[in-house]
Structure 1
């Protein structure tokens, strides 16, 4: 079940993340003591939502045979420190010969990607000390 592993050594905040045979780096920015050698954890979360959304849109358009040339999604989020409410903001750019109904359907479909479903629903984290 656990498919992703993160490892950190003595180098302040630089983290190696491995999933199957793929490796990426994470770090913190210079202003908080990191060396800016990779994505921040927040950027990884945003990237996960963006990647899942564009893939879901691409799959749907392909299945429908629609003329979708490309999709670009920019993701950010706002956090209300008082209520702890987090709101993700997705800016979606669709390229191709699409009518307004197709564009709206693709926007809606992008909101049904697995990652968006995960972060939109009740979430809990269980940590086990090994």
Structure 2
């Protein structure tokens, strides 16, 4: 099992996240007591969905030989505090010389990225102390 490790010290909210050989910083905005040194946890989740979708579309277009020059994915979400329901919104912008049917197929393929499958499936979290 691959793991990501988040480490926080005494510097309020600044968290170092390591996955393999890569490190990113997460933090909270200054207005809630953080140092605004990196992505918020929510931004990391949105970024995971956006980047996975973009990569999925790039892979598919490359495999089909389509003229996809660039993909831009914007992700936001709404949370209903009463029901706990969360809705992610993905705005997909495709650049290149694409036929209408290619654009529609890419829109469809965007929902097949592994992160979207993960967050729309059944999720459970198990926590334990070491």
TM-score, normalised to structure 1's length? 0.98
What residue in structure 2 maps to residue 104 of structure 1? 104
1:25-65 deviation line (CA, Å, top 9, x unaligned): 00000111101000000000000000000000000000000
What residue in structure 1 maps to residue 114 of structure 2? 114
| RMSD across aligned positions (CA) | 0.6
State yes or no: 1:27 paired with 2:5.
no
How many residues align? The count is 130
1:69-109 deviation line (CA, Å, top 9, x unaligned): 01000000000011111000000000000011100100110
What residue in structure 2 maps to residue 39 of structure 1? 39
**SS at 2:84's partner residue?**
coil
Gaps of 5+ in 2: none
CA gap 1:126/1:2 in 2 versus in 1, 3 angstroms: farther
| Partner Cα separation in structure 1 for residue 10 and residue 85 of structure 2 | 34
What residue in structure 1 maps to residue 127 of structure 2? 127
TM-score, normalised to structure 2's length? 0.98
TM-aligned CA deviation for residue 3 of structure 1: 1.8
Gaps of 5+ in 1: none
What residue in structure 1 maps to residue 3 of structure 2? 3
| Partner Cα separation in structure 2 for residue 25 and residue 38 of structure 1 | 5
What residue in structure 1 maps to residue 85 of structure 2? 85
**SS at 1:69's partner residue?**
strand
